[in-house]
A and B are shown apart, each in its own frame.
Chain A
Amino acid sequence: MSTVTGQPNPKAKTKLSPDAATWLRMYRQMLAIRLFEEQVNELYTRALMPGLAHLYVGEEAVAVGVCEALQNDDYITSTHRGHGHCLAKGASPNRMFAALLGKEAGYCKGKGGSMHIADPATGNLGANAIVAGSVGIATGAAFSSKYRGTTQVAVCFFGEGALGQGVLYEEMNMAQLWKLPVIYVCENNSYTEYTHCSETTAGDMAARATAFGVHAETVDGQDVRAVHDVTAKLVERARRGDGPAFLLCNTYRHHGHHVGDISREYYRSKQEERLWATERDPIKLLSNWLVANKHADAATLDKVHAELKSEMQKAVEFAIAAPYPSADKASEDVYA
């Protein structure tokens, strides 16, 4: 796990019993993602961002709880709703915003945009705009780590919509046959774009993994402590050579499918959205716990908020001021 500034944390070891500093770091990271995404929404609203973005607001506990259990050289693959994963694995907000605005200084030099952030320096194999498009890549990274004799683990993030793609089952089958160190993290936010998952997904979600003998766990995806606790165990298990796991995280996206999805009443109620944004909000749940257990006081948390808000504001300003790539770069990087 790294801080939002992109500096690898030297203490980034998997801890089965995290201390207060760890919980505070996770709080900071979740809030960073939240504030990053609020800026993204603002950039869209002000027509400063080309294209669209799929916001991760509401799901922060999953990315942060999982990535806190990883080391810098562990791999992740991400999704179209991937800003949270990339930040949690150590991406810098400056280069993230620059990527979203199509600037040369962005992670993909203007080639990828919001849905394709990739960064070898933080083990990020790339966000992927094909649903379940990265399950092969993550499984292959795990195959590679076993082949090369390292202890690197690969985490494959995807939404429950990916459960509709057959290639996921091909990969889980091979991962279990060959005991590959890969963790499939299914973020079940209940909505496959604009359709409730009950209309798209038959049977039990986790049973789809156990059918292959893949170890499966289900966790409250709004509880970062629970997500981290179970991920740390799955990571240790994978490093030991005990094979893949499937982690079903039940969560919720506060915003629509993308920033332009404003009128949502036809597929979900405002009452439901309100409930998840108040009683089930992962950042509120953690801050309440931190204060109740005297790991932090309200003033400390407010200070973190102010710092991050300023950092994100500066990152946006950096990205807006950054130059676009020159047009002749369009034909570069097609071949290595």
Chain B
Amino acid sequence: MPDTNTREITFAEAVREALAEEMRRDARVFILGEDVAEAGTPFKVLSGLVEEFGTKRVVDTPISEAGFTGLAVGAAMTGLRPVVDIMFGDFITLTMDQMANQAAKVHYMSGGKWRVPMVMRTTLGAARRSAAQHSQSLHAWFSHVPGLKVVLPSTPYDAKGLLKTAIRDENPVVFFEDKMMFKMKGPVPAEEYTIPLGVADVKREGDDITLVATSSMVQVALGAAGLLEEIGVSAEVIDPRTTWPLDEKTLVDSVKKTSRAIVIDEGYGRYGVTAEIAAVIAEGAFHYLDAPVKRMGAMHVPIPFSPPLEDVTLPTERSVFDVARALCNRS
């Protein structure tokens, strides 16, 4: 990242900049979703875009997630580059046929002739006291489907660079944003840049244990690494940034160095992203491991509403610290 012209902007601003730049660069790019135009979404991520690009390219839809996602598939096949906005990640369930049976399979089923260059932007993450239908992290569902790519940015810098790449990709890409992160600030260069999909980022280097963390859990892992440092444990924090394609080599190489790993992800642990990444590490670094690979994800319950109930469902700096300390045999 160049030092010159780097500003501190929020995650939401980084997303908005990526969209605006790609829309200026390519007239085929347009935004489709509920309350995306004048309202700029409930999170105000898209504020100002309709003023610049007009209602032809920032299109308010009915509350029809399956309908407008399916429409985007057809538009993508016929020369456009839709960016679909699914307000809450919980609503991806409504788009499942369009994404899993249509978008993901069109290229393959047509023998490679039709393409679906579309992006679905949506959210993940609990802790907003929004209960079970507005708090889930369901990115594992799409990561399971061949034909889709899944992106999980954890900083404003990553969000901007990855979203620009996603929009230019020739495949359907699902882009999950942690809604608790929209106001988080971070350094973002003013110059044009992109980040390739499938390249993990080492957020902090360390020697004793690898903390693989995604999206909302990257800050948690970095906090835990700070606590571990105080007891003399050097933790490496790695963010895969995309669950598919997955940068298996960077994950495995890190664990070969540290010999211990915890995988932390806000989705459900069972059959989830943590299970897949733990398996990749176990297969790739088996002979280097000094302890079993641990997984930490959301508690296997619908996300509850009441603050004391919701708070215990998520990994925290403290809980990650405790698991890491035990893995490293420190008391």
A-side residues, CB < 8 A to B, are: 75, 77, 106-112, 116, 118-120, 125-126, 128, 130, 133-145, 147-148, 154, 166-167, 170-171, 173-174, 177, 332-336
A123's nearest neighbour on chain B, judged by CB, is: B78
Given contacts A108-B109, A109-B112, A130-B101, whether A170 and B74 have CB atoms under 8 Å apart is no
Q: How far is the CB of B296 from chain A (nearest CB, A)?
A: 30
Given contacts A144-B79, A174-B62, whether A118 and B114 have CB atoms under 8 Å apart is yes
When the two chains form their complex, are residues B171 and A147 in contact, meaning their CB atoms are under 8 A apart? no
Across the interface, which residues of A come within 8 angstroms of B97, CB to CB? 130, 133, 167
Q: How far is the CB of A162 from chain B (nearest CB, A)?
A: 13
Cβ proximity bits B125-150 to A, threshold 8 Å, 1 near / 0 not:
00000000000000000000011010
B-side residues, CB < 8 A to A, are: 30, 56, 61-62, 64, 66-80, 82, 97-98, 101-102, 106-115, 117, 146-147, 149, 170-171
Q: How far is the CB of B166 from chain A (nearest CB, A)?
A: 13
Q: How far is the CB of A108 from chain B (nearest CB, A)?
A: 4
Across the interface, which residues of B come within 8 angstroms of A142, CB to CB? 74
When the two chains form their complex, are residues A126 and B110 in contact, meaning their CB atoms are under 8 A apart? yes
A172's nearest neighbour on chain B, judged by CB, is: B67
When the two chains form their complex, are residues A112 and B110 in contact, meaning their CB atoms are under 8 A apart? yes
When the two chains form their complex, are residues B74 and A109 in contact, meaning their CB atoms are under 8 A apart? no
Docked CA distance A332–B109 (Å)? 11
A182's nearest neighbour on chain B, judged by CB, is: B74
Given contacts A133-B101, A133-B102, A140-B76, whether A333 and B71 have CB atoms under 8 Å apart is no
Given contacts A133-B97, A174-B61, A174-B64, whether A335 and B77 have CB atoms under 8 Å apart is no
When the two chains form their complex, are residues A170 and B109 in contact, meaning their CB atoms are under 8 A apart? no
Docked CA distance A18–B42 (Å)? 54
Q: How far is the CB of B102 from chain A (nearest CB, A)?
A: 6
Docked CA distance A218–B117 (Å)? 37
Docked CA distance A120–B107 (Å)? 12
Docked CA distance A173–B112 (Å)? 31
When the two chains form their complex, are residues B106 and A140 in contact, meaning their CB atoms are under 8 A apart? no
Given contacts A118-B110, A145-B78, whether A173 and B70 have CB atoms under 8 Å apart is no
Docked CA distance A147–B73 (Å)? 15
Residue from A77, A130, A141, A332 in contact with B112 in the complex, judged by beta carbons closer than 8 Å: A332
When the two chains form their complex, are residues B111 and A136 in contact, meaning their CB atoms are under 8 A apart? no
When the two chains form their complex, are residues B171 and A336 in contact, meaning their CB atoms are under 8 A apart? yes
Across the interface, which residues of A come within 8 angstroms of B117, CB to CB? 336
11 contacts between A and B (CB under 8 A): A108-B111, A125-B77, A125-B78, A130-B101, A139-B74, A140-B73, A140-B75, A140-B82, A147-B30, A148-B80, A336-B170
Q: How far is the CB of B148 from chain A (nearest CB, A)?
A: 9
Docked CA distance A125–B70 (Å)? 13
Q: Give the interface centre of B64, B74, B80, B117 by most chain A CB atoms within 10 Å.
A: B74
Docked CA distance A335–B69 (Å)? 19
Q: Give the interface centre of B66, B98, B113 by most chain A CB atoms within 10 Å.
A: B113
When the two chains form their complex, are residues B111 and A170 in contact, meaning their CB atoms are under 8 A apart? no
Given contacts A130-B101, A133-B102, whether A171 and B71 have CB atoms under 8 Å apart is yes
When the two chains form their complex, are residues A112 and B109 in contact, meaning their CB atoms are under 8 A apart? yes
Q: How far is the CB of A25 from chain B (nearest CB, A)?
A: 27
